[in-house]
Every structure is written in C-alpha cells, then in structure tokens.
Structure 1
Amino acid sequence: MKSICKHLALIWIALVSSCCLAQSASVSGKVTENGTPLPLANVLLKGTEYGAATDIDGNFTLDAVAPGDYVLLVTSLGYQPYQTKIKLGADTTKTINIQLEASAQSLDETVVTGTLKPVNRLESPVPVEVYSPTFLKKNPTASVFDALQNVNGVRPQINCNVCNTGDIHINGLEGPYTLVLIDGMPIVSGLGTVYGLTGIPNSLIEQIEIVKGPASSLYGSEAVGGLINIITKNALSAPEFFADGFITGWGEYNLDVGSKIAVGKKTDLLLGINYFNFDVPIDNNGDNFTDLTLQDRISLFQKWDFERKDARLFSLAGRFFYEDRWGGEMQWTPEFRGGDEIYGESIYTRRWEILGKYQLPFSEKLLLSFSYNDHNQNSVYGDTEYLADQRIGFAQLTWDKSSGNHDLLLGSAIRYNYYNDNTPATPTADNIWIPSLFVQDEFTFAPKHSFLAGMRFDHDQRHGNIFTPRAAYKWKISDHDIFRVNAGTGFRVVNLFTEDHAALTGAREVIIAEELKPERSYNINLNYLKKIYSDNGTFIGLDASAFYTHFNNVILPNYETNPNHIIYDNLEGKSVSKGLSTNLDVVFPSSFKIMVGATWQDVSTTENGISQQQILTESITSTWNLSYTFHSLKLTADYTGNLYGPMRLPLLGDLDPRRANSPTWSIQNIQFTFKGLNNFEVYAGIKNLLDWTPNRGNPFIIARANDPFDKDVTFDANGNPVATADNPYALTFDPTYVYGPNQGIRGFFGIRYTVF
C-alpha cells in the first residue's frame, strides 16, 4: 500500500510540475549599442527575482517566469537605462531586442588626459569631463569646433564677422590659452587651433576629454587655461563602414564617410573622409557683407593599428586638410583677391599631420609618442596679404611605473617650433627647439586618500628655463562621492600673428610695445563629483567646481587707445579668472534624460589700480540637453541650447553707436532621430529656433561696411578719424565687433548608415 501511495504521489508531483511548467513563460533577446553586442548588461523584471546578465554576444534568457504584466529593465555602466512594459502569457516565449544608448557624460569612463595614463574617471585625481559620440549627435554639426557650443564653460568664439575664423574659450579665457590635442599629441596650436577642430569625422571620434585649468606640467606651453583632447577610435572597434551626411536650409552640405579595412592578419586600417561645402552668399542683415563665410573643404584621415606580442601598443595616424574659404562684399569674386576695389577675406589652408604611439618591447611600460604637422596659410584680408608657414614636431617618452603606494610617471619630451610669415613682426623665421623633463607621482597614503605631485622643466632658448609644478589631492568619500583639489601653474610662449585674427584684417596697424615675456598662470580648482543610482533605475550625476586663476605678464590686445592700432604689451598688473561651475546629469528609466550646466565667471584685468571686465568674455553661461526616446515609435527627440550673459565689446570710440555690452543671448535647437530602419538613422530638426543674430539692437555690426578701405575717412594729424557728414561716428572699417554667429534659423535633414 505504501508503495502504491508513493508512486501515486510521484505521479501527482510530476503532473503538477508539468502543469506549472506548461503555464510558465520565458523572455530572451539581445542587448546592443549601435549594433555592437553589450556583454554583462543587467536584465531584470522589476519587483521580481527574475534577472540575468548578457553573455559575450549580448544575449540573455529569463526562464520559468510566471505569466503576468512586467516592466523589463536593462542597465549597463556608461549607458542610459532602458525600460519597457511586457505582457507574458501562459506557455509563451517572448523575444525582445534592446538597443542601449551611451550616456553623453558617463562617470565611469576611462580617461587619459589628466595624468597621461589610462585611469577610471572616478579614480583620476584631476577632474576630466568626457563627451562621447552620442553627445555630438544631439546637435549634429560639421565640426567639433561647432559641437563644443553645448559644453558648459566652453565657448567657440568667432573672431571676425567676415572670415568667421575663431578659437575656443574655456572658463572665459582667450583661445590661445587652450591646447588642442589629437590622441594626446599636442599637434595643434597657433595657426591650427580652429583647423584642429575641423575636418575630423565625428563617427571616428571615440570620446572628447576636457580639462579646465593649467596642465603645463604635463603638456608644456599653451596648456594654460585648459585643454581639449580628441581621442579617435581604435580600428579594431570601429564600424566596418559608416556614412553620415546632412544638408541645411542655408545650403550647407556635410558628408562623413569611413571604413575599416583588414590589412593582413595583424593590421587594421581606419579610413575617414570629411567634406563640407557652402557656396551660397547670404546677406540677411543688409550690410552687403556675407553673413556666413563660404567654405569648400576636405579632410582625409587614416589610422593604422598593429597587433603586437603581449598586446603592446602601436598605432600610426595621419590627416590631410585643405580649405578654401572667403567672406566679404556680396559682389566679391576671386579676381578681386588682394585688390582694393571690392573687399574680401580669402583664406587657402593646406595642413597635414602625422602622429603615432609605440610601446617599447620591454617589460616596463615605456611608451614613445610622436607627432608632426605642417601648416601653410595663404590669406588676403582686403589688400593685405598674409603668407605663413608653421611646423611643429613633438616627441615624448614616458615610463609608467607602480611601486607600493606610488604610481610614478617619468617622461622626457622635445618640441620643435618653426614659424615664418611675411609680416614686419617676423623679420626672420622662428626656429626653436624646446626640450623638457617631467615627473609625476600619485601617492595613496590612506584607503580613501591620495596625493599627486608633479613638475616639469622646459628650456626655451628665447626665455631660458621654465619650471611648472602641480599638485592634486583626491578624497574618495565613497564609491559615489569624490572630492578633489588641484593646484598648478602654466606658461605660454606667444606668437601673436598665429593667434589674433584682428591683427590681420588690414583695418588696424599692429604695435608691439616691447619684447614680450612668457605669460605665467597660477591656478587652484575645487571639484566635487557625486553619482546616485536610485532603486527605480534613475541616475543622477552632479559635478561642481570652483576655480581661480591668476596671470602674470598677460598679453592682451589693446583696441581702445587708438582705433587704427592694436597694441600688444605685457600687462603691468594682473589678470584674474574666477568662477563657479556645475553640471547636472539626470537619466530616468522612462528614457527621459536631462543634462544642464551653468557657469558664473569673473574674468578681469587690473592695471594702475583700475579693474575692468575682459573684452569678449561672458559673465554667465548655461547649456542644456533634454532628450526623450519614444520606444514604440523608435524616435528620439533632443532639445539642446546654450545661453551666454553680457560681455564687454570692442568699440571704436566714444561716438560708436553700437552696444558697449552684449545682451544675454541664446541659441536653441531641436532634433528628431528615427532608428526604425536596419543600420540606418534618419534625423531632422531646426537650428537657432529663436532666429537670434547679434545685429538685434544694433544699428550695424561691421563698422563702415560701405567703405571697407577707408577711402572716405578723414584723419587728424595724429591719425585718428574725424567725424564728418559722411562719417558722423568717426569710425574706420572694422569687422572685429563680433560675439555670436550671424547665422539665423534654419532646418536640417540627415541620414546615417552604419555597418558593424
């Protein structure tokens, strides 16, 4: 009897189990990012114990799930959380494929710019801001230069209403104080600042790292106000093929095309081409000058990555850049180039670059880095010709060594600068070698505390020995809270004519008051970084900083003493940049994302006891990015914008009727991206929704646009213009009164195609 009961019980259990299994459901699928599988992503049904991690191919399966309504949540470090509602019936298998989007400003990325070695961003003693290609796609632009308008505390400054060349301001400091690097190599400076941020296909960029504050102890001259490091993709992780093209309502065309090619078994080649064209003269403000410079440019980029024994690094990259740009009177044609009949500014630029990294075949971490660039510029500004050549060579050897609680970096670098132009200020070519030695030690003296000390020694034959120390303290309060203090010095060796477009317009004479000394800066920066992960999948990131920089021997152009002169001199006083900055990054499980940044800054110069705001420096700046994905429609909406507070503007005299200070102004954009087609993204939107241009509230922007060669201006015995019936404000031609883009509202449409 017991035996019969036992068998009946086993049969009953088997039947019940079979019935339960028949009533269960399962969920499977694949998690990717732009088609690339994401391993180790967390997949779970909220409020339950059902969960799994994706495998190396991005696949996951949740078995034996009870029927019902659930919320599927997918999370992965560095990516925006994904969540969707699913309904599971009895005895069903549901397949769902999920595409995650990289976080625009992740707090868990690897950075190299702050310390010259790869380190997790949270572990870096130097605050580094990181921006991914996803960030660049929120407001598609034809260059990195334009894309940086949505980075808090960073402003692309247009320096001329006619040719539209510009530079990058960090925390209110002039463009020459910003060092631009590509893959960590300082190949861009002086003449090439704007060109270093133009022509690199955005699809080839792995990430952009920004350090605010002096970094001369690692990078030498120019790294005074901060630096921007554009890191390109490794060929091994790049897509097989990509194409990205867009057109705007103003008639701008931009095309990025690239491909990865396997060359043998151990070599991969990454090719990229960027082409941009705008050839429609537009004069919406009615001054007979082009509102936007006409441009025709092409950039060719290639990067070779070689597989070596023990995963040692060896990469070699090169870029060729050519651009023909002009702006001026609407009736200008190339036959007027260099003449005094019709005013035009025409710039032919040819530039090529090569850079590489090679890890030496030793057990120690010895890395040789090198770069070289050749920049040729053939320009005319009215009837003033400017012909210049610049060549910069750079080589650096670093030794990365860890010993106990010490993480050491020792290095030696040599930089070669060649510069020559046809101006009277350069009677002979500059031909300078600058050798350097530097050392850095990060010492962990307690489980949550570390201290970094570094110093650099440069020898410049023009200025002698230059010593730049730095120090940084990091307190890791918790895994989600970091407090940092950074202090350092910077220096800059100046070559005026490579940096200040106003000196080349032909409208003013350049006066150099004395032999210029190197500028020096002293900086302290406090930074607090916090990230919060809530139980419902919401992520909050906070990054707040306070900064103070003091300059000695600062060189500022004096536009105000004489309207016909630009006077350069070392300031007999001080220049100070101080302020507060914060970034807030919030990601909700619903795929709604908020990025907001704001900076208050006070940049002033003090001479003879009188302090005043630096020209063309805003008091406040704010940036934002609101993004939401409609998963059922496979559509993402991005609303981006920036706001800049008042800045002092360069007037030509007491009678000048233009605003002495700019208003608070804003550029706002909206974009919609559809991802419902395999390998394709279609995007469209509107730029400058408010149709804002700087001529609002001003009688004119370009002074004496009707007489660009000053043929009808009367001057007194001292060379100062005199008010006349034809010239009631006593002005001369001057296009340097510029603080924002002249380009108004416009639509855009684009398509991306990517094959992995």
Structure 2
Amino acid sequence: MKKYIFILLIIMSFANISPGQYELKGQIFTKAKSEKLPFASVKIKGTTIGTTTNEEGEFSFKNLQKGKVTLITSFIGMLEKQTEVILDKNTFVKIELNDDPSQLNEVVVTGNLKEMSKAESAIPIDIITPAFFAKNPTPNIFEALQSVNGVRPQVNCNVCNTGDIHINGLEGPYTMILIDGMPIVSSLGSVYGLFGIPNGLIERIEVVKGPASTLYGSEAVGGLINIITKVPLKSPKLSLETNSTSWGEWNSDLGLKYKLGKVNALLGVNYFNFGQIIDKNLDGFTDLSLQNRISVFNKFQGKTGSVAFRYFYENRWGGQTNWTPRFRGTDQVYGESIFTKRVEVIGAQNLSNALSINYSYNSHQQDSFYGNVPLIGTQHIGFLLTKYQKTIGNDDLLIGLPLKYNFYDDNTVATQSEKQNQPLKVWVPGIFAQHERKIGENFKTLEGVRLDYNQNHGLIFTPRLALKWNNKLNILRLNVGKGYRIVNVFAEEHAAMTGAREVEITENLKPEQSWNINLNFNKKILLNDGFFGLDASAFYTYFSNKIIPDYDTTYKIIYKNLEGFLISRGSNVNIDLNLKNGLKLMGGVTFLDVQKNENGVKTVPYFTEKFSANYTISYEIMKPKILIDYSANLVGPMRLPLLNEYDPRPGKSPWTNIQNLQLTRAFGEDFKIYGGVKNIFNFVPYRNLPFLISRANDPFDKKVIFNEYGEAERTAENPYGLTFDPTYVYTSLQSRRVFLGIKYNIQ
C-alpha cells in the first residue's frame, strides 16, 4: 500500500511542474505618482477569466497555459491598458496606468450596472469630475449641476428656495438621483435632498439623458444622475476645503481616511451655514432662505464589498424679514420653516465573480410649515437588487431581481381616506434582463426588458434597445427606450403647499409613460498641441398620461393626466478643447422644443426654455502656478405662471446670464487658495419688474375679497385681483458676490 501511495505522490509532483502550467503575478501602479492601485480590474483578453487587485495593487492568475496572453487593466479615472505577456515560466509583471485627462476611456457603471470604459458603453453617458466642479465652486450638488449642458437646476419657490433638476427640458420629478447606483434621493426627499450631498466626497458624477427605466424603474423617465463616492483607499489621508462668500455663506468639507482592521474607511463631514437676512429687492421677504445643515458620511470598503452611512440634518427658513421661530405655524408673520432629518444606508456585496447584491435604505423626516399650513411627512424607502452578470465570448448577460418598498405618510389628503389616516405602503418587485453583444471590432448591440409589479397599477413593461458603432476616434450610438413614472403630488410638487392657490386632483392619476429615441455622436481629434472632443445628440420623447400641474385655472393648481400627449425634442452639442499651452475650453448648447397637445391645442409648459448654453475657459500660468477659470451660464426665456389676466408681471422670463471668475493659486500639489466673483454682471430676476411675489404685503390674504366662485376681486387695495403667490420664480435672487476658499490635502 505504501508503494502505491509513493508512486501517486511522485505522479502528482510531476503534474504540478508539468510544462504549460504557469502562474502570472503582477502589481498595478499609477504612472504619475507610482501609487498602488487596489481594486483595479484585470482581465485576460478573449476569456472569461478576471480578477481585482488587493490592497497592495497585486493580482495573480494560476494554472495558465504556455504562450502569449493579453491583460486588460482598468481603473476609474485611468486609461484602460492592454499588456502582452509571454508565458514560458512563472512570471511577474508591473503595469502602470495613465490618468485620462482627455476622457478617452473613463470607467462608467451607470449604463450597464458594471464597470466598463465609456468608449465601450452602448449608452451615452456624461462624466463630470470634481476638477470640473472646482472651476466654479458651490456648496452643494444642486448648484454645481448648473455648469452641465442640458442639465438645469430649477428654483421652485421664492421663499424657501427649494429646487429640482431638469434634464433636456423635463421637470425635476423625471430625474432620478442615485448615490453609488442606489435610488436614494426621490419623492419626499427630492425637494431638499440634493442640498446635503458633500462635494468633497464625490469621485465623479455620471449623467444619462433619456429614459433608464429598464434598469432603474420608476422616476428614471427623463434621465438619471449617479453620484459615485470616493474609494477610501484612493482618497487622501486628510482633505479639507472651506469657503465663504460676501453674502455670509460658509461651507466646509472634511474628509478623513482610516482603517478598522482590514477594512478601509472614509469619513466625510459637510457643514453649511447661511444666517444673514438679506432683502435687496425690498419686498419685505428674504432673498435667500436661511440655512443651517450638517451631513456626515462614512464609507467602509472591503475586498468584496462596501457599505456607507449618511446622516443629514437641516434647519431652513425663508419669509418675511421680521419672522422669528415664535411665529412658526401662525398667521401673524409669514415664514416657511422646514426641519429635515435623513438617514441613509448604501451597500454592495460581491457573492462571486458573477453574483452580487446591492441594497439601500433611507428614512426621511420632514417637519415644515408654509405660513400656517403644516406638512409633516415621513418616508421610508428600502431597495434590494440581486444581479447576475456573465460574459461568454462576445456576449454579456445581465439579469436582475429588484425589490422596492415605499412607506409614505403625511398630514395631507394624499394619505387620508374617509377621514382616516392611511399611509402609503407599496411593494414593487420586478425582474429585468439585458443582453449585450459585440459584433466584430466596431459594432455592439444591447437589448433589455423589465417587468415591474405595482399593487396599485399592475404590471408595467419597459424595454430598451441600443446600437453602437465605433472606430478608433468616432462613436455613433442609437438608443430607443420606454420609461414610466408613478407620481406623488404632495411629495414632489412644492407648489402644492405654498401660496394661496387651491390644489385639486380631479382623477385617479395613472402612471406616466414615455418613449424616447436618442442619437449620439462622439468624436475625438488628437492635435499636434492638444486634444479636441465633440459630443452631439438629438433626442425625441413622446409622453402619454403626462401629469402637468395646470396653473391656468385661476387661483387653482389642478393635477390630472393630460388628455393628449406631450413631446420633448431637441439637440445638444458639447465641445472640449485642451491645449498644451495651458488653455482649456469646455462648453455646450442645448436647443429644446417642448409642447403639450391637449384636445388639439398646443402650448409650451411652464419653466421650459428653448435654449441654454454654458462654457468654461481655463488658462494655467505655470510660474507662479495660477489657474484662471471663467465660466458662464445662459438660459433663454421661459413661460411663467400668472394669477390672472390682470397680473402685471411678464408672462415670460428674460434671458438669464450668470458669469463667474475664479483665480486659484497652488502651493505644491496639496495646498490651494482660490477666490473670485460670482454673477459678475449682477443679474437678478426682479430687475424691471413691479414685484416677484404677489401680495407680499398680505401673505395670508387677510385683505383679499373673494367672490362666490372663490376668485379674488379687484379692489382699490388690490387693483390686480391677486392673492399671495411665490411660485413666479425661475432662478436664484442672489446678486453679485465675492468668494474666497482654501483646499488642503495630506496624501
């Protein structure tokens, strides 16, 4: 027996060293700083074999056959690299990745729920980095997005300055906001949630213009914004940024990297305060709501997963300048006072190379008064996504099982039934599948379908199709998809709570549905002294069951499904020029044609512009190291809601023109001082107007006389027959201001 065991051991030892079975090890670094790259992706070309690097940037493949293999290495913000290796023995390779300043091959995740280069994605995705936002620093994501072409922050209230994000002319509720791929900011939280995301923790932002409901479900009708937070290991040990403006705004971001055993963690704290009462237009109301907020974010990253927690608190009020907290909820002095508390959990876990789960939970508590009208709201949203991804040759298969739970309760008729409180409790299970196939070197197809079940609306089906053609420097993409959205009026429409207009819901609102087609062309031109990029899109969206608040019925806001259809079509063009002499130009224009057709009558919706543009011109002086950034944002006229035919305010806004200048002085790589002027030409929306807020002198309508139909009568005291209404607004009232800030990092 011992003889046979001995012979078996000899055979096994020969098998272990038999020709053709080799181990390939390696380590990934950044070329610029020679930093190790943990969690970089390493794949063997032409196979399904792949891995990620460990905390030291190391990887290994065992039992490889003798011969030539090609490694494909990628990492967020780096150029993808292919490395050929000849295997005739156990081999170690060192691979260096370059930064990608020209954005030729950024890694994206939003289009397909997996990391891939932007150039390979069949879905057109815009990538915005912190370096771009730094050219016009802002205290929150809401304001920062004004520099992105086709994306426009819309201020919805002159008093509390709430806002939402419009993409290609579609209102804020059609834009889904994600953090690390999870639908965190939605419904009740969409009104104030964008103000508390710290800019200092953002790795990048990915923007998809057009429906993404096949992967992300309801609310991703007009597009989505995915905020990708930093990887702890890639972050500085300590980062600090603080700035202030001549208006008295203070904003500070603190980032701290640390370890708990083998787990890497990143702590981020954002604090913002604005406590000055400013009334430059002398209407007796604050021009900017007073705000005091704090956001604490902590992300933990392991080798196979991550989890992040965020707590957000804000105390905000705007109103008559003599308002104090003792008037909260009374009809003596008008104020809109909002207390917001949010808790968020975002996580991802890889169970194997093909199977993973993503999960999120958020709890939103809002305690608010709009004058003497309360809105006390609570919302809990849980989300679980199990996904399976497999690559077989040139085919990529993605299957997902999403499950969403939504609990919503407030003190309005939205959750009242027969004088009993009935909170909304909805489970939405679903399933989606997507197939992506590469045909040759230049063509790719993508097909996807999704089926959701909503207990109030039944089964909802959303398909999509994408085609992509490319050569080395040109990419052409065609996308067709269906979107849907289930509305929550009181959670999303701030106009329903403010002012004296009566809100009326005339029917059981059906889910909105849309079909969208998007043609995108991307071209890269390598110059002798730099780089030029062109990105152009044409889009067309058709809506049925569209829900549009009707302001045209005097003194009311009527919510109902549109008896007809709405069309949103247009185009946008972006250019990116980088020259070696230090000059950079980024800019874009968007043309929109949005029309609703109801009973054969065509009208343009409120707050929809036909033209918008933005640009940033940068020039870097090397000695001393000074960066000059000049940025501008232009928005064409848009239709505004009037109270009646006698309202003396214009029915359209003027051209909005906001221009900014910033100088940044760098002292080494880790310390910077910056400052400049915002709104150089002092554009303010109240110039040449009789007033912005109607009846600002009588916000509770105590002196308004109403007739038997509930309409305000024209009197000597009220010659235009108006009521109090702060919804005539399209941009911030902030005038010219100076700002100054510092940035400091310890790598």
TM-score by length of 2: 0.86
What secondary structure sits across from 1:555 in the alignment? coil
1:166 aligns with 2:163: yes
- Give the match for residue 269 of structure 1: 265
Contact kept? 1:214, 1:223, Cα under 8 Å: yes
- Give the match for residue 285 of structure 1: 281
- Give the match for residue 637 of structure 1: 628
- Give the match for residue 62 of structure 2: none
- Give the match for residue 709 of structure 1: 700
Q: Distance in 2 between matches of 1:552 and 1:37?
A: 52
- Give the match for residue 475 of structure 2: 482
Q: Distance in 1 between matches of 2:499 and 2:414?
A: 15
Q: Distance in 1 between matches of 2:77 and 2:189?
A: 33
Which runs of structure 2 are paired with 1:150-189 in the superposition (5 Å)? 150-189=147-186
Contact kept? 2:214, 2:462, Cα under 8 Å: yes
- Give the match for residue 52 of structure 2: none
Q: Could you give the per-residue CA deviations for residues 268-310 of structure 1, whole angstroms, max 9, x where no partner exists?
A: 1100000000000000001000000000000000000013xxx
1:620 aligns with 2:617: no
User: Quick one: which amino acid aligns to residue 154 of structure 1?
Assistant: V
1:584 aligns with 2:567: no
- Give the match for residue 454 of structure 2: 460
User: Quick one: which amino acid aligns to residue 370 of structure 1?
Assistant: Y
Contact kept? 2:78, 2:105, Cα under 8 Å: no
1:519 aligns with 2:512: yes
How many residue pairs get matched? 660
1:420 aligns with 2:396: no
Greater displacement, 665-674 / 506-515: 506-515
Deviation at 1:204, TM superposition (A): 1.3
- Give the match for residue 65 of structure 2: none
Contact kept? 1:204, 1:238, Cα under 8 Å: no
Deviation at 1:263, TM superposition (A): 1.4
Contact kept? 1:187, 1:393, Cα under 8 Å: no
- Give aligned-pair identity as a percent: 52
User: Quick one: which amino acid aligns to residue 141 of structure 1?
Assistant: T
What secondary structure sits across from 2:603 in the alignment? strand
What secondary structure sits across from 2:195 in the alignment? coil
- Give the match for residue 70 of structure 2: none
- Give the match for residue 449 of structure 1: 443
User: Quick one: which amino acid aligns to residue 505 of structure 1?
Assistant: T
Q: Distance in 1 between matches of 2:478 and 2:570?
A: 15
Which runs of structure 2 are paired with 1:294-693 in the superposition (5 Å)? 294-307=290-303, 313-360=304-351, 362=352, 364-427=353-416, 428-476=422-470, 478-536=471-529, 538-563=530-555, 565-677=556-668, 679-693=670-684
What secondary structure sits across from 1:335 in the alignment? helix
Q: 1:698 to 1:145 in 2, by over 3 A?
A: same
Q: 1:110 to 1:194 in 2, by over 3 A?
A: farther
Contact kept? 1:389, 1:419, Cα under 8 Å: yes
Q: Distance in 2 between matches of 1:474 and 1:117?
A: 18
- Give the match for residue 23 of structure 2: none
What secondary structure sits across from 1:122 in the alignment? coil
User: Quick one: which amino acid aligns to residue 750 of structure 1?
Assistant: G
Q: Distance in 2 between matches of 1:222 and 1:402?
A: 29
Q: Could you give the per-residue CA deviations for residues 546-596 of structure 1, whole angstroms, max 9, x where no partner exists?
A: 000000000011111122x21100000001110010000000110100001
Q: Distance in 2 between matches of 1:134 and 1:207?
A: 9
Q: Distance in 1 between matches of 2:463 and 2:76?
A: 35
Q: 1:469 to 1:183 in 2, by over 3 A?
A: same
Residue ranges of structure 1 left out of the alignment (5+ in a row): 1-29, 40-56, 58-75, 81-99, 308-312
Deviation at 1:38, TM superposition (A): 11
Q: Distance in 1 between matches of 2:734 and 2:537?
A: 33
What secondary structure sits across from 2:549 in the alignment? strand
- Give the match for residue 18 of structure 1: none
Q: Could you give the per-residue CA deviations for residues 318-355 of structure 1, whole angstroms, max 9, x where no partner exists?
A: 10000000000000000000000000000000001001
What secondary structure sits across from 1:108 in the alignment? coil
User: Quick one: which amino acid aligns to residue 552 of structure 1?
Assistant: S
Q: 1:731 to 1:36 in 2, by over 3 A?
A: farther
User: Quick one: which amino acid aligns to residue 305 of structure 1?
Assistant: Q
TM-score by length of 1: 0.85
Q: 1:77 to 1:384 in 2, by over 3 A?
A: closer
Q: Distance in 1 between matches of 2:36 and 2:523?
A: 29
Equivalent in 728, 745, 749 of residue 719 of structure 2: 728
Contact kept? 2:521, 2:536, Cα under 8 Å: yes
User: Quick one: which amino acid aligns to residue 544 of structure 1?
Assistant: A
Q: Distance in 1 between matches of 2:393 and 2:76?
A: 29
Q: What value does the CA root-mean-square deviation take over the aligned residues?
A: 1.9
User: Quick one: which amino acid aligns to residue 366 of structure 2?
Assistant: Q
Deviation at 1:677, TM superposition (A): 4.6
User: Quick one: which amino acid aligns to residue 215 of structure 2?
Assistant: L
User: Quick one: which amino acid aligns to residue 174 of structure 1?
Assistant: E
Contact kept? 1:345, 1:379, Cα under 8 Å: yes
What secondary structure sits across from 1:682 in the alignment? strand
Q: Could you give the per-residue CA deviations for residues 239-288 of structure 1, whole angstroms, max 9, x where no partner exists?
A: 10010000100000000011000112x21110000000000000000100
Deviation at 1:666, TM superposition (A): 1.0
Q: Could you give the per-residue CA deviations for residues 352-396 of structure 1, whole angstroms, max 9, x where no partner exists?
A: 100100000x3x411100000000000000010010001110000
Equivalent in 123, 126, 129 of residue 123 of structure 2: 126
Deviation at 1:37, TM superposition (A): 9.0
Q: Distance in 2 between matches of 1:357 and 1:256?
A: 25
What secondary structure sits across from 2:413 in the alignment? coil
Deviation at 1:405, TM superposition (A): 2.3
User: Quick one: which amino acid aligns to residue 633 of structure 1?
Assistant: P
Deviation at 1:36, TM superposition (A): 6.5
Deviation at 1:602, TM superposition (A): 0.8
Deviation at 1:191, TM superposition (A): 1.5
Q: 1:367 to 1:282 in 2, by over 3 A?
A: same
What secondary structure sits across from 2:415 in the alignment? coil
Greater displacement, 105-114 / 646-655: 105-114
Greater displacement, 364-373 / 454-463: 364-373
Q: 1:79 to 1:539 in 2, by over 3 A?
A: farther
1:212 aligns with 2:204: no
- Give the match for residue 26 of structure 2: none
Q: 1:506 to 1:614 in 2, by over 3 A?
A: closer
Q: Distance in 2 between matches of 1:199 and 1:457?
A: 33
Contact kept? 2:499, 2:725, Cα under 8 Å: no
Q: Distance in 2 between matches of 1:107 and 1:577?
A: 30
Q: Distance in 1 between matches of 2:669 and 2:729?
A: 44
Q: Distance in 2 between matches of 1:239 and 1:678?
A: 12
What secondary structure sits across from 1:148 in the alignment? helix
Q: Distance in 2 between matches of 1:687 and 1:441?
A: 47
Q: Distance in 2 between matches of 1:407 and 1:101?
A: 27
User: Quick one: which amino acid aligns to residue 464 of structure 2?
Assistant: R
1:748 aligns with 2:744: no
What secondary structure sits across from 1:222 in the alignment? coil
Deviation at 1:199, TM superposition (A): 2.4
Deviation at 1:31, TM superposition (A): 7.5
What secondary structure sits across from 1:556 in the alignment? coil
User: Quick one: which amino acid aligns to residue 282 of structure 2?
Assistant: G
Deviation at 1:641, TM superposition (A): 1.2
Contact kept? 2:593, 2:610, Cα under 8 Å: yes
